Amino acid sequence: MNIILLGPPGAGKGTQARHLEEKYGLVQLSTGDMLRASIKRAEPLGLEAKKIMDKGELVPDDLIVRMIESRIGRPDCEKGFILDGFPRTVIQAEALDKMLADKNQKLDMVVELKVNEDLLVERVSGRFTCSRCGEGYHDKFCATQVPGICDKCGGGEFTRRADDNAETMKARLGAYNSQTAPILPYYESKGILKSVDGMLSMPEVFHELEKVLGVAPSCGCSCGCSCE
């Protein structure tokens, strides 16, 4: 199954993609994570992208498309992937269609995570990540059980993103509304767009995702929903 998680910064794409990866073995492809890894390695691509990311603007399409094309061609993606943060423009969406058609593959579903703007700012402002295993946390909504220690790997170092501040967030939301939101009608016209309420709790959002993807367990779920 090949899917896209679409939504503004802080909507919960990375959080849900990691859960889908763990539970269903799909590969999470996050262009933001790829760019940040490239910055860490001080590659020319990363250094070029960093200036743009710090302003909250979008990195040029051709650069992103080349990056995702080489990643999607790797064998681990054959079992299915979740795109998180790509595509972000109609040009990227068209390039993705072409890339997949060339490989005789297709997109199964695009899921939009809907969250109000006020909450998005709060979400990104409190976001932090374990430096060792990459687990995502939030100061208020999803803190570590023991302060300063990662629940998952026991690591004690965490990172906060340079662009996760209220000012850059304004530019990122502007970029989402003007350049990324126009992708929604593109996928709607193909009949593969679904929407999930991203304001729910993390397990509830996950369960809603499982439902729209048609993989929800038929009973025994623990999220308090009324599904049978």
- Residue 169, binding choice from ligand ADP, Zn ion, none, Cβ under 5 to 8 Å by partner class: none
Any contact of residue 205 with ligand ADP (CB under 6 A)?
yes
**Which residue, 150 or 205, has its beta carbon nearer to ligand ADP?**
205
Q: Which of 3, 20, 59, 183 is in the footprint of ligand ADP by CB under 6 A?
A: 59
Any contact of residue 173 with ligand ADP (CB under 6 A)?
no
Residues 120-159 that bind Zn ion (CB under 5 A): 130, 132-133, 135, 150, 152-153, 155
- Residue 153, binding choice from Zn ion, ligand ADP, none, Cβ under 5 to 8 Å by partner class: Zn ion
Catalytically annotated residue among 160, 161, 194, 211:
161
SS3 for the chain, per residue? CCEEEECCCCCCHHHHHHHHHHHHCCEEEEHHHHHHHHHHCCCHHHHHHHHHHHHCCCCCHHHHHHHHHHHHCCHHHHHCEEEECCCCCHHHHHHHHHHHHHCCCCCCEEEEEECCHHHHHHHHHCEEEECCCCCEEECCCECCCECCECCCCCCCCEECCCCCCHHHHHHHHHHHHHHHCCHHHHHHCCCCEEEEECCCCHHHHHHHHHHHHCCCCCCCCCCCCCCC
Q: Which of 39, 52, 212, 225 is in the footprint of ligand ADP by CB under 6 A?
A: 52
**Which residue, 40 or 152, has its beta carbon nearer to Zn ion?**
152
**Which residue, 100 or 200, has its beta carbon nearer to ligand ADP?**
200
Does 88 qualify as catalytic in the annotation? Answer: yes
Does 71 qualify as catalytic in the annotation? Answer: no
Q: Which of 6, 9, 29, 96 is in the footprint of ligand ADP by CB under 6 A?
A: 9
Q: Which residues are catalytic?
A: 13, 88, 127, 161, 172
